[in-house]
A = this chain, B = another copy of it.
Amino acid sequence: MSKLLIVGTVAFDAIETPFGKTDKILGGAGTYIALSASQFDVECGVVSVVGDDFPQDYLDLLTDRNVNIDGLKIVKGGKTFFWSGRYHNDMNTRDTLDTQLNVLADFSPVVPDHFKDADIVMLGNLHPAVQMSVIEQVESTKLIVLDTMNFWMDSELSLLEEVISKVDVITINDEEARQLSGEYSLVKAARKIRDMGPDYVVIKKGEHGALLFHKEEMFFAPALPLEEVFDPTGAGDTFAGGFVGYLSNSKDISFENMKNAVIYGSNLASFCVEKFGTERMLELNKEEVDKRLESFQALTQFEINLA
């Protein structure tokens, strides 16, 4: 079985959308990535940190899904990272109401020995220094996938650029791709970002889908149009988890297979947004996932015979 190493926050979130608000619930990039990747038959481990205020029930949600948490450090007397945000009516923009780094402030990741030879490493959005430390600890990895965000472009650009130079795939959203490259056209932006290191660039456009770039080739996966988007939190991480989970499981990191991975990622993300937080991902079954994959095929596949 392929090994997939995931680095990312495991956290408490409090979310407000036009549909309602939550108390502190399970959140964090590492959580969403792991819940999504664990839909596939892969050996999956998470490197992260929480405080001892983090409930055993939440840990069990991960281990119940065969997610290895040997690399999840529990800091005694520490408090878990907390994020709180409010979505606007269009669900495409949000305000951060509160961020409490807590145990994340001094986080020094330790990759368990068993995962040092992971086939694929997924670096979820975190301080670039943490991401770099993980890159330095792994050996003979076939593919490193990086997620990041504008916050690190603003505050830690040179370190982030060093991380970017060492990864194979980067996933960022359209505005971040524009910021990082200084190009408005996403085609030009992707080319400039590839020049920074990664062979593959995935640009996430939220409800408008995702673009995969490699050399002079492009692939596009739409987001499934939904009756209602209930809570977009974690959609990008769920996409990334589906992407690496599928790649790990199929043991094929060609561009052709990455197209499928982007579709699987979009498919899983379409479930994530249907309920608050991780709720929908926790109840998801394979039958639903496969059925919706057929919707993606119907949505995008056509038959034109070029004369």
Give A residues with C-beta under 8 Å from B: 89-90, 184-188, 205, 208-209, 211, 217-220, 222, 225-229, 256, 259-260, 263-264, 290, 293-294, 297-304, 306-307
- In-complex Cβ contact of A299 among B219, B260, B298 (8 A): B219
The answer to whether B304 touches A218 (Cβ under 8 A) is: no
User: Which residues of B sit under 8 angstroms from A298, Cβ to Cβ?
Assistant: 217-219
Nearest B residue (CB) for A191: B227
Give Cα A290–Cα B90 distance, bound, in whole angstroms: 38
Nearest B residue (CB) for A295: B218
The answer to whether A299 touches B218 (Cβ under 8 A) is: yes
The answer to whether B302 touches A290 (Cβ under 8 A) is: no
Give Cα A304–Cα B242 distance, bound, in whole angstroms: 14
Nearest B residue (CB) for A299: B220
> Which of A209, A225, A290, A307 counts the most chain B CB atoms within 10 A?
A225
Determine how close the nearest CB of chain B comes to the CB of A110; give it in whole angstroms: 37
The answer to whether B302 touches A259 (Cβ under 8 A) is: yes
Nearest B residue (CB) for A18: B184
Determine how close the nearest CB of chain B comes to the CB of A288; give it in whole angstroms: 13
User: Which residues of B sit under 8 angstroms from A220, Cβ to Cβ?
Assistant: 222, 225, 299-300
Give Cα A185–Cα B224 distance, bound, in whole angstroms: 12
Give Cα A209–Cα B207 distance, bound, in whole angstroms: 12
User: Which residues of B sit under 8 angstroms from A187, Cβ to Cβ?
Assistant: 225-227
